Amino acid sequence: MSTPLDLNALKARQQAAWASGDYAVIGTTLQLVGERLAEACDLRWDEQVLDVAAGNGNATLAAARRGCRVISTDYVPELLKRGEARAQAEHLNVEFQVADVEALPFGDGAFDAVVSTFGVMFAPDQAQAAQELGRVCRSGGRIGLANWTPQGFIGQMFKTLGRHVPPPAGAQPPSRWGDEEQLRSLFADTLGNITVSRQQFNFRYRSAAHFIDVFRTWYGPVHKAFASLEAVSASALETDLTQLLNDHNVAGASSLVVPSEYLEVVISRR
């Protein structure tokens, strides 16, 4: 008989992973995604917006630039500090608060829009996270998400990591949030209407080796994966990641441009 998955222990490990390295180094390159999502959600001046699992604040800044009243949340305080510094540099009035997406400290229907870019999809208890997003969004409001797809580059990267450092038995893959059918299931209780658009973000680096060096230094999950492996196993992971990157590279031998598919999702709260 298998042992039930300890979601709290999994969350603690994930929190430690995201606190390692410095996700902000990677996150700032993804700002375009936050801007696109803000437009897809048609954010309006003075609307109340919550950014969950905000990281260093890409969607937060995009919403604040459109005159929204934004609360930016994450369970990693260090990342919120990065977002706060960015907001201060642009003279944007944003509130930053440590919060867990699975237990948001806000009232029912408190926000006109709830957004997350590549954040909430990593919550261990996916059903609870989806329920919380729906709970704090008002009826007629919008839930805006950007989620990596299973078949896209980042989805494939996590599969590669999983072959070398297997996830706990029973853990749901984050890429489930990049599948429209699964999203409809997750938000069945709150879904009024859903609009899904497939988008691509281009990772731009000097080479596969450059990408791996940056990600193993700064991107928590990759950083932790390499740190957990002995030298021979780490070399094998590097070889597989290099192959994956080169297979997806559209820039030729002189540079690295890797398109990665994600779902841009806007859910109307019924």
Kindly report, residue by residue over 30-57, the tens digit of the pLDDT. Answer: 999 999 999 999 999 999 999 999 999 9
Tens-place pLDDT, residues 176-232: 999 999 999 999 999 899 999 999 999 999 999 999 999 999 999 999 999 999 999
State both tokens at 108: 């029912």
Per-residue confidence (pLDDT) for residue 228, from 0 to 100: 97
Distance between CA atoms of residues 221 and 68, nearest Å:
32
Specify which residues 97 forms β-bridges with: 73
Distance separating alpha carbons of residues 264 and 146, to the nearest angstrom: 5
Full set of structural domains in the chain with CATH: 7-155+167-202+261-269 (3.40.50.150)
Confidence of residue 242 (pLDDT cuts 50, 70, 90): very high
- Measured over the CA atoms of residue 234, residue 7, residue 101 and residue 197, the dihedral's sign is positive
